[in-house]
Chain A
Amino acid sequence: MAATPALSVEGLSVEFRTRSGIVRALDNVSFSVDKGETIALVGESGSGKSVTAYAVMGILDPAGKVTAGRAMLDGLDLLHASPSQLADVRGRKIAMIFQNPRTALNPIRPVGQQIADVLIRHGNVPRKEAPAQAVEMLRSVGITDPARRAKAYPFEMSGGMCQRVMIGIALAAKPWLLIADEPTTGLDVTTQAVIMDLVNDLASQMGMATIFITHDLALAGQRSSRIVVMHAGHVVENAPTRELSTNPRHPYTAELIAATPDSAASLDELASIPGSLPDLRRTDLPPCRYSERCPRKIDACAQPLPYAGGSISHIVACWNPLPASSEFEAKASAA
């Protein structure tokens, strides 16, 4: 537990400049991923989970700006690194796969060549040998007949195959950390499971840490050892998966779990979370961005949130959290 984490995000704040004002997309986001650990970053649309990933990778939209924070990867602060340092680290130490695999691949370049590009760039592979290794990479992500497929173009492949190719591109240089941004959205359920299995297998083979970004709490629960829940640009809860699902402490997490189809006995019981995300352009946002729709709101909620970082196992950014269950309370006070 005391070893340096693979990635440590500390106090990340991001703003976007838009036509209708400044959007405070992220506010003081902190979490870390240990080497080889798989965590999930969970939240509804607009919670800031993708923005976090993009900020860490340094591929934010030009209208976005990191206003505070650090993202430490192997001693380098990704948020304040130079473009050449970033280009060096991306692909080699940290990689990312995206939604919509088909559009995320170069439409007029054979897929084998796209993997070879990464191999040549980061893998110290001589140009001549790269195509052969690319074929091997395709094989390892489960593409049948890889030698032939390497010459194919993305439009000739299914969504699932394109996602495999993207995984191949991301993992070609054996990075330490993979960020998977909703990698299975848009794929059918069977393919989803297969892709998630693939990522998990490769990650454990390579000892690679993974951050799964998803809005699907159930999916997160199945695949990760720790879940970080985000809401409106804040980290609201950060706990090991089992603890979170059986003893959620933040009111929002509890609502999220209740809204998951798995936990509802029938459709009638399926809860929805009341209210909607606050408008992040407001200058008068309360310190807790959930407070305005929170059933457990108390006067103390007007104060700045308790700091959500640190090394405690179960972090809750709330003044009036749900009670801890006895099992976990003992652990928490011991930590």
Chain B
Amino acid sequence: MLTMILKRAGMAIPSLIGVVIVTFLLTRALPGDPAAYFAGPAATPQAIEQVRVKLGLDKSLIAQFGNYVVDLAHGNFGTSLTTGQPVVSELITRLPASAELTLLGLLVSIIIAVPLGILAATKPNSLIDHACRIATTLGVSLPVFFTGLILVYVFYYQLGWAPAPLGRIDVFFDPPPAYTGFYLIDSLIAGQPETFMAALKQLILPALTLGIFSLAPIARMTRASMLAVLSSDFVRTARASGLASYTVIVTYAFRNAMLPVITTLGMVFSFLLGANVLVEKVFAWPGIGSYAVEALLASDFAPVQGFVLTMAVMYVALNLLIDVLYGVIDPRVRLEA
């Protein structure tokens, strides 16, 4: 098991190197001149040139890349031009916000999509089956920011059930002490139930937005996988043995069907990381997505590089986690590897 993990981690390294290179090149290609920006609007050409030298931007691209890699090795992701803060510290504060939102969105999605998929598979080609397919496809046919806007319009503007989309927690509350950065967990650890509720209320709509967006692939894969498993030989044996319906569908069929669904989760998480960026803009969420977008539009490349690299590492870590989970459920992977 451990060897498998190390092997997979090793295989991911070339991709990460590729990510670093591509990000570096892309950000260097961004329009705008950071030196001019940094020097200020009233600077003379000589002053700008001085700033350029100070920032190391006069060196060749290769040399700049070299410096960048060395910095990375020291955990230095550079400094944001727009905020003046080191990118690393900003990422550390903002990452939990995005992670909490994405994970909750994924959870919402799983809770809705998996039962739907199972239901659709037990009654294939029925009205329920078609209805599930249409509903989930609708969810994924809307731009994710539009879904968010509709939810805000209906639940905040019209019905007043949800709070204003103004970030992680209502202004009247102090955020909980930062153990993990996850407001829900931290408020529970600190024994602050009202803070927990306040944070939860703010999380509902954006998490629902992300959830709706990822319903379709999860439901579709659950349905397809369940259909395949329900017509398999061993389910036939289970039925022929007269096992109870619940045992057949859940203990025998579902556990086997979950395997491809878990691998799909990795892909879905990647979608969500991208969609995160848009949702954070709609709900004014102080996460890394909004951080990166603002930086991108201002041609501030250090945060963008840091963001992309973080995302890539997170994605690799998540896929590893999924492989491990797969191994826990499927003994064939565990024992034959």
A-side contacts of B256, CB under 8 Å: 106-108
Which partner residue on chain B sits nearest A90 by CB separation? B242
Distance in angstroms between the alpha carbons of A95 and B240 in the assembled complex: 7
A127 contacts chain B at the CB level, 8 A cutoff = no
**Pairwise interchain contact A105-B234, C-beta atoms closer than 8 A:** yes
Which partner residue on chain A sits nearest B238 by CB separation? A106
Which partner residue on chain B sits nearest A99 by CB separation? B233
**Pairwise interchain contact B241-A98, C-beta atoms closer than 8 A:** no
**Pairwise interchain contact A87-B234, C-beta atoms closer than 8 A:** no
B-side contacts of A83, CB under 8 Å: 245
B330 contacts chain A at the CB level, 8 A cutoff = yes
**Pairwise interchain contact A91-B234, C-beta atoms closer than 8 A:** no
Sampled A-B contacts (9; CB under 8 Å) = A90-B240, A90-B241, A91-B243, A98-B236, A103-B234, A106-B256, A107-B332, A117-B247, A117-B251
Distance in angstroms between the alpha carbons of A103 and B235 in the assembled complex: 10
**A138 → chain B, closest Cβ, in Å?**
16
Distance in angstroms between the alpha carbons of A140 and B233 in the assembled complex: 24
A330 contacts chain B at the CB level, 8 A cutoff = no
- Render B280-311 as a binary contact track against A, CB cut-off 8 A, 1 for contact: 00000000000000000000000000000000
Q: Of the candidates A90, A155, A169, A170, which one forms a contact with B332 in the assembled complex, judged by CB atoms under 8 Å apart?
A: A155
Count chain B CB atoms within 10 A of each CB in A90, A92, A100 and give the residue with the most: A90
B-side contacts of A92, CB under 8 Å: 242
B-side contacts of A121, CB under 8 Å: 241-244, 247
A-side contacts of B15, CB under 8 Å: none
B59 contacts chain A at the CB level, 8 A cutoff = no
- Number of A-B pairs whose CB atoms are under 8 Å? 80
- Render A55-95 as a binary contact track against B, CB cut-off 8 A, 1 for contact: 00101000000000000000000000001001111111001
Which partner residue on chain B sits nearest A86 by CB separation? B242
B-side contacts of A108, CB under 8 Å: 255-256, 329-332
Q: Of the candidates A87, A96, A156, A166, which one forms a contact with B244 in the assembled complex, judged by CB atoms under 8 Å apart?
A: A87
B239 contacts chain A at the CB level, 8 A cutoff = yes
B269 contacts chain A at the CB level, 8 A cutoff = no
Distance in angstroms between the alpha carbons of A157 and B247 in the assembled complex: 24
**Pairwise interchain contact A88-B233, C-beta atoms closer than 8 A:** no
**Pairwise interchain contact A109-B252, C-beta atoms closer than 8 A:** yes
**A127 → chain B, closest Cβ, in Å?**
13
**B330 → chain A, closest Cβ, in Å?**
6
Residue positions of B touching A, CB distance < 8 A: 232-234, 236-245, 247, 251-252, 255-256, 329-332, 335-336
Distance in angstroms between the alpha carbons of A57 and B241 in the assembled complex: 10
With A103-B233, A155-B332 as contacts: A59 and B242 at CB distance below 8 Å: no
Interface size on A, residues (CB 8 A): 31
**Pairwise interchain contact B332-A59, C-beta atoms closer than 8 A:** no
**Pairwise interchain contact B245-A87, C-beta atoms closer than 8 A:** yes
**Pairwise interchain contact B234-A106, C-beta atoms closer than 8 A:** yes
A-side contacts of B240, CB under 8 Å: 57, 59, 90-91, 95-96, 98, 170
A118 contacts chain B at the CB level, 8 A cutoff = yes
A153 contacts chain B at the CB level, 8 A cutoff = yes
Q: Of the candidates B234, B241, B252, which one forms a contact with A118 in the assembled complex, judged by CB atoms under 8 Å apart?
A: B241
With A107-B332, A108-B329, A117-B247 as contacts: A89 and B237 at CB distance below 8 Å: no
Which partner residue on chain B sits nearest A181 by CB separation? B240
Going nearest first, the 9 A-B pairs with the smallest beta carbon separation are: A90-B242, A91-B242, A103-B233, A91-B241, A104-B233, A96-B240, A106-B234, A104-B237, A87-B242
Which partner residue on chain B sits nearest A169 by CB separation? B241
**B255 → chain A, closest Cβ, in Å?**
6
B-side contacts of A103, CB under 8 Å: 232-234
A-side contacts of B237, CB under 8 Å: 98, 104-106, 166, 169
With A100-B233, A103-B233, A106-B238 as contacts: A118 and B243 at CB distance below 8 Å: yes
Count chain B CB atoms within 10 A of each CB in A88, A100, A153 and give the residue with the most: A153
Distance in angstroms between the alpha carbons of A53 and B232 in the assembled complex: 17
Distance in angstroms between the alpha carbons of A107 and B333 in the assembled complex: 11
A-side contacts of B241, CB under 8 Å: 90-91, 95, 117-118, 121, 169-170
B-side contacts of A100, CB under 8 Å: 233
Distance in angstroms between the alpha carbons of A46 and B331 in the assembled complex: 37
Which partner residue on chain A sits nearest B235 by CB separation? A106
A314 contacts chain B at the CB level, 8 A cutoff = no
A164 contacts chain B at the CB level, 8 A cutoff = no
Which partner residue on chain B sits nearest A103 by CB separation? B233
A226 contacts chain B at the CB level, 8 A cutoff = no
- Render A115-127 as a binary contact track against B, CB cut-off 8 A, 1 for contact: 0011001100000
Which partner residue on chain A sits nearest B331 by CB separation? A153
Which partner residue on chain A sits nearest B234 by CB separation? A106
**B337 → chain A, closest Cβ, in Å?**
13
**Pairwise interchain contact A107-B244, C-beta atoms closer than 8 A:** no
**A312 → chain B, closest Cβ, in Å?**
32
Q: Of the candidates A59, A106, A117, which one forms a contact with B239 in the assembled complex, judged by CB atoms under 8 Å apart?
A: A59
- Render A167-184 as a binary contact track against B, CB cut-off 8 A, 1 for contact: 001100000000000000
Interface residues in A161-210 (C-beta closer than 8 Å to B)? 166, 169-170
**B97 → chain A, closest Cβ, in Å?**
37
Distance in angstroms between the alpha carbons of A88 and B242 in the assembled complex: 6
Distance in angstroms between the alpha carbons of A166 and B332 in the assembled complex: 20
Distance in angstroms between the alpha carbons of A90 and B332 in the assembled complex: 30
Which partner residue on chain A sits nearest B236 by CB separation? A59
**Pairwise interchain contact A155-B336, C-beta atoms closer than 8 A:** yes
**B253 → chain A, closest Cβ, in Å?**
9
